[in-house]
Amino acid sequence: MQSPGATVGTVLYETMAGKLNPKLLQALKVLGFTHMTPVQQRVLTELPDWRSDCLVQAKTGTGKTLAFLLPTLHCLLDPSMAPPRGQVATLIVTPTRELAQQIAKSCDQLTSQMAVPLKCDIAVGGTARASAFSRFMKEAPSVLVATPGRLKDYLSEPEAAIKLSNIRTLILDEADTMLESGFLADVKHIIRHIPPKSAGWQGMCFSATLPPKVRDVVSVVLKPGYSSISTIDENETPTHERVPQYHVLMPSVADSFTTLASLLQLETKTSSKIIVFGVTANMVSLFAAAFSRGLTKLSVFEIHSRLSQSARTKTTAQFKEAAAGILFASDVIGRGMDFPNVDLVIQVGLPTNGEQYVHRVGRTARAGNDGRAIILLTEAETFFLRSNRHLPIQPHPQTDAIIEGAASYAETVAEAMYTIDEEKKQRAYSSFIGFFAGSGLLKQLRLDKPGLVQMANEMAIQGMACPEPPVIDKKIVGKMGLKGIPGFNYGHGGDSVRASSFAPRGRPGGKRDASIGGPGDGSGFEKRQKSARGRGRGRRGGGQRSV
């Protein structure tokens, strides 16, 4: 639905008066909605009835949530449609916690004008399982919004399965993302543990694309003859192609922090609400920690899977409401999430594929607003550009100035890094190696496994201002498939492996003293501390952790 200022879309009240439950209409009026978006208009006016099975194809950010909530809630408010008391009537499955929170909030808003609002509960990972499950069992939610993993967990409990034994509607939201993100087995498990389709429940699938995995599940969730609705114009230029997109080539991954600082200094002259994507959750956490220490004048937010659900929910709300700021993010918000007025998306490092890149770009230029996108890559990573020539990514017109400016941030970045606890840097380092070791990208990067370790060590020493490569556990190295690869620092012990041959010299934050002993000699750390203090940059610790 569109706000009062909207000038496009079908007029809501003229179309839905006498058709949509008056309490729902009243809630829409209170919320300020006056017009329907195309997907809302078509679902509400073209389905044979609002209990019909349907497959709806529409781009993210076009109002799909209300398109499935309104007909579902309308039917739920009909006494003849209501399930037995205490039973869940509507089950909504969505790929991320943030989307689940967003849907539940919309549901609560739509039922807010009822004398007794319908209860909507969420079941998502990252929350205290015991208390969430207890709440679900004690209360009587009519609507349950869940992520696949937690819902599968709930269904393993017989008493929970009973509460889902009379569902009236099953909705798969962002079906393509959910099924392409490794949730196919969980979704199939869920379908097997709810009543069979022959029980008569309604199926609704909403998806931006229709890859084979979606079609496989559609055949189980939707009965033959289902309604198919698409609001995607094949002749329309996709949103991401209308967004100006640029790349900046960095000398090495170790320059990621300084290059981003230089880029933000330039871009914040014209952009004030920015999302920065990183390659892993722990790298995102490190970026947020560094930039919150004076590397930008804008407020810094962070969101990723390593945060508690309460922290993620709080950040989501704060950044949505913020007029300006930088959100450092992993792909928990890479798709489907709507943050108003984001005018710039930056990606630091390689996306997994072109599709992930496109969905990240889709966080800007929403609801008719303008936006831009920039990706920071090394020369070795430019294979991504060659492999995705259909994407309109051009060289940033001020690349030279950005790279030159990065050098001036070397000392400032090092100062920030010295105040960040070593554990946070160690987690970022480990996750960086794990990302590339498990992504299948090494061949495209023309890197062997020793080269990967060397690259990560350069990142740690030159980029994170570590005195040596962070200590890493041999078991973790083995799980990464890197057992026996030289260059790791296994910490104290006679079998320690030095990475000193990979420690570049002569760069800010990367200087090493050849007289300093190895990690097992009991004296190296103290000497390095004294050496750092002698240079005036030896602040350590701080004990700060991700929040």
Q: What is the mean pLDDT of residues 469-495?
A: 87
pLDDT of amino acid 255: 97
Nearest to 204 by CA among 298, 103, 126, 304: 103
pLDDT of amino acid 547: 28
Q: Does 10-230 carry CATH code 3.30.870.10? A: no
Cα–Cα distance for residue pair 197/189, rounded to 1 Å: 14
> How does residue 367 score in pLDDT terms, banded at 50, 70 and 90?
low
Q: What is the mean pLDDT of residues 7-18?
A: 71
Cα–Cα distance for residue pair 518/354, rounded to 1 Å: 43
Q: What is the mean pLDDT of residues 385-400?
A: 94
For residue 539, the SS3 value is coil
Structure tokens given for 491: 């910490």
Task: Say if residue 384's pLDDT is above 60.
Answer: yes
Task: Say if residue 388's pLDDT is above 50.
Answer: yes
pLDDT of amino acid 239: 56
Q: Which residue has the higher pLDDT, 184 or 251?
A: 251
Tell me, rounded to whole angstroms, the distance of Cα 544 from its chain centroid. Answer: 23
pLDDT of amino acid 107: 96
Domain boundaries along the sequence of the chain: 10-230, 239-411, 421-534
Cα–Cα distance for residue pair 312/301, rounded to 1 Å: 10
pLDDT of amino acid 512: 32
Matching CATH number, 239-411, of 3.40.1380.20, 3.40.50.300, 3.90.1150.10, 3.30.70.2520: 3.40.50.300
Strand partners, 326: 274, 300
Tell me, rounded to whole angstroms, the distance of Cα 24 from its chain centroid. Answer: 31
> How does residue 336 score in pLDDT terms, banded at 50, 70 and 90?
low
Q: Which residue has the higher pLDDT, 214 or 403?
A: 403
Task: Say if residue 426's pLDDT is above 90.
Answer: yes
Percent of the chain beyond pLDDT 70?
86
Percent of the chain beyond pLDDT 90?
64
> How does residue 522 score in pLDDT terms, banded at 50, 70 and 90?
very low
Task: Say if residue 264's pLDDT is above 60.
Answer: yes
Using CA atoms of 220, 151, 330, 444 in order, give the dihedral in degrees to the nearest 10. -50
Task: Say if residue 382's pLDDT is above 80.
Answer: yes
Task: Say if residue 543's pLDDT is above 80.
Answer: no
Q: Helices (DSSP H) in 52-194: which residue ranges?
A: 64-76, 97-110, 129-138, 148-155, 158-163, 175-178, 184-192
Q: What is the mean pLDDT of residues 440-469?
A: 95
Q: Which residue has the higher pLDDT, 106 or 127?
A: 106
pLDDT of amino acid 98: 87
> How does residue 377 score in pLDDT terms, banded at 50, 70 and 90?
very high
- Could you read off the pLDDT of 495-518 as tens digits, one per residue? 444 433 333 333 333 333 322 223
pLDDT of amino acid 61: 73
- Mark residue 487 as left, alpha or beta (left: phi above 0; alpha: psi -120 to 50; beta: remaining): left
Rounded to the nearest integer, the mean pLDDT of the chain is 85
> How does residue 308 score in pLDDT terms, banded at 50, 70 and 90?
confident
pLDDT of amino acid 235: 53
Helix, strand, coil shares of the chain, percent, nearest 5, are: 45, 15, 40
Angle between helices 212-221 and 184-192 (to 10 degrees): 10
Cα–Cα distance for residue pair 358/512, rounded to 1 Å: 41
Contact status, residue 468 vs residue 503, Cβ threshold 8 Å: yes
Task: Say if residue 345's pLDDT is above 90.
Answer: yes
Task: Say if residue 125's pLDDT is above 90.
Answer: no
pLDDT of amino acid 240: 57
Q: What is the mean pLDDT of residues 197-226?
A: 90
Annotate 180-236 with DSSP letters as a single string.
IIIIHHHHHHHHHTS--GGG--EEEEEES---HHHHHHHHHHS-TT-EEEE---TTS
Cα–Cα distance for residue pair 213/248, rounded to 1 Å: 35
pLDDT of amino acid 47: 95
**Listed range (122-131, 281-290, 329-338) with the worst mean pLDDT:** 329-338
pLDDT of amino acid 494: 37
Q: What is the mean pLDDT of residues 413-422?
A: 96
Kind and range of the H or E run holding 373: strand 372-378
pLDDT of amino acid 405: 96
Q: What is the mean pLDDT of residues 68-72?
A: 96
Task: Say if residue 528's pLDDT is above 50.
Answer: no
> How does residue 527 score in pLDDT terms, banded at 50, 70 and 90?
very low
Q: What is the mean pLDDT of residues 239-249?
A: 84
Q: What is the pTM of this model?
A: 0.63
**Listed range (75-84, 269-278, 312-321, 511-520) with the worst mean pLDDT:** 511-520
Measured CA distances, 172 to 83, 86, 334, 348, 420 (Å):
20, 22, 18, 31, 41
Structure tokens given for 357: 């890149």
Q: Which residue has the higher pLDDT, 181 or 309?
A: 309
Among 11-15, 124-128, 240-244, top mean pLDDT goes to 124-128
